[in-house]
Structure 1
Amino acid sequence: MAIKFLLLDKDKKLFPVFGDILDITGHKLMVALDETKAVDLLNTVKPDLLILSYKDINFFWDILQKDIFCLPLFLVENYEDADKIREMGFSDLNIITIPFNPLEFLNKSAKLYNMHKDIEHKISGSFGLMNVLISLLSKGVSAGILFVSEDKACEIYIKSRSVKGLSCSLEEFFEILKTEDLNLSLIPYEADVKLNTYFKSNREFFSIFAPTTPIQEVVQKEAIPSIEKPSLYPIEDDFFLIALVDKDGLLQRNVYLRIYRKKDGGIPILFNLAPNQNFPTLKELLEKTLGGLEQLKALVLMDLLAEDVQSIFNLLSLSSRLYVITSFPIALSLISLGVPERRIKLIESLPEGLLNLGIKFIKA
């Protein structure tokens, strides 16, 4: 399943991150640096999903008014903007909060893609009314959508890629949209149904969502940023999460500490590593938890980023018995950078998922 993404990147900052994520996972990314190019790609290539910043939401309403239909993924930087998106009839699937976890982004993208593919046969309130509406319009399906809150209901009818009208008033429509638990179901299209609110075109319907004033970025006064130190969050017994947010980037870097218990003690293993600027904080947390970095037995590397290399050397020098456990391609890169081969163990060589850490075999 390869998904086609279109990224509107006016600030020219997003495409390296999304390019790496989607290239590794086998998906396709197209990039537009301005709205004109984005419209051109939407019309010619017809991507499955559109990635754009919340501040560009007026562009999204504009393309819907022009009968260009594509499911969106909005990049937001605060919870207030996320709430505004939900109140417009979208779901959590449409919201990517920066900094974001790549796995969460891919998971939401896959769910939106599969929802769109099966929309005529399977529908759920968790999809969000706007996603269902856009999917049906893009496929040219003539149907009605019944959406029900706790004490109110309304129907919206579409025919031949155009919104015809509502069985309720606009005030009731927006009130129901703000409901957290909304039930959705498809109903047959009725040509002679009497509606409360009619629309001459998609332009008239989608214009009711567009803000009357453009969204502007708030210019913050220059101030000394406060540094919030990460801490260990217990996930389960002897399993901890260390969340490290990259303040200048888009991603959330997660580091995990697992302590495998034995009769005569524990075997601590670290999964992933922090960039060098976060290493002092990580070192302090590990020392407090383990009583010293020399207790750490292994570092499991799932990828290798340039900003992590110095942290790897720091950890190896501070813990003389520590091994790096990783895949063959990453091991070759580490050796070329000067990591001793004797300090590396390959995941591919582990017998039946067992790690030999110079003590005994333990189950991974």
Structure 2
Amino acid sequence: MIIRFKKGATMKQFIALTFMLSLLFLTGCGSDYDDEGTLIPTEPISDLEVELVVTSVEFNGVLYPLENDIIPEPEGVDINLRTADYSEAELFTLASNEPTIGVLSNINVGRAFTEGEIYKVLTPYYREIVGPNGDTMGKVVTMLDSNIMTPKDLEGKRVGIQGEADGSSIAFMTALKKIYQVDLDTIEFIAVESNMAPLMLQEGNLDASMFDSDYIITEGFSESYKVVIDFNREMYDFYGTVPPASFFVVKKEFYDEDPALYNRIIDYFTENYQWYKDNVEEVSQLEADASGDSYETIRLKADYEERAGKVTEKDIGAFYGFYEIAKERGVIDFIPDLNELFITP
């Protein structure tokens, strides 16, 4: 079953939905006897209902096989697929008190841990990867005629970011400090909407900025801008990995009841994602037709991202540095126990 949240849904709506779901108790298993000792048959155990929260309010090629039931659900579980935009998906994940595999960013899963709400990270939900040209979509750029040539030159400058508590911003800062020894306190970080960054650079309100990936891959980008740092590529070269931006998670109390069940659901998602990868040209065309976006852009972006897979020891090594910077910037109170948080092979 697929349930979609409309854009703009409120927290009260999420809580109301969660309350209604809590009224749907599962049928218990067992037998009873009448006064004469005769066995009274009971209904069999119902499949366990688990919410699977994904981020989409429009056509999303990655989710096409899930939404069209191309891969059979695993036995013994009834998966309710819920789609929402990213912020709403995180809100529902945090608000749900039912068995829910939800989505949390790398920042919010760490923040939840420090606030005493323990989630098990099951698999990366979204990870940027090094693409076919040896670069990534995680870049900070400046005007082509700028005197900013290296990451160290960002000291004393005004730099646009997606938000102080945004995972990409923390990854960028991690690369600056850990790899280039940049003094972050000398930089004026300014939160900007990614679609406003080009204009603010052109008008001189910013010296450099993070750019939306769609803009980076447009024709003409290199005619006006240059890359100061491909911070995800730098993270990959330094740590051996681009740490995931978000995860599929489940509250530890539910995971501990039946780890194998939740792992089967993740295997189910992985099979769906593999089907998408095997049919990426066809699905990218469907997405282009539905959205009106360029097929070439949609197809290219597929080569720069990865879903599912495993959290590796290299990821954990990178996240030590990542959460250290997040703590220094006041985003989280302390560095979470990463061995408790992550499940590694």
State the TM bucket, normalised to the shorter chain. under 0.3
Identify the structure with the greater strand proportion: 1
- TM-score normalized by the length of structure 1: 0.23
More helix by share: 2
Q: Larger radius of gyration, structure 1 or 2?
A: 1
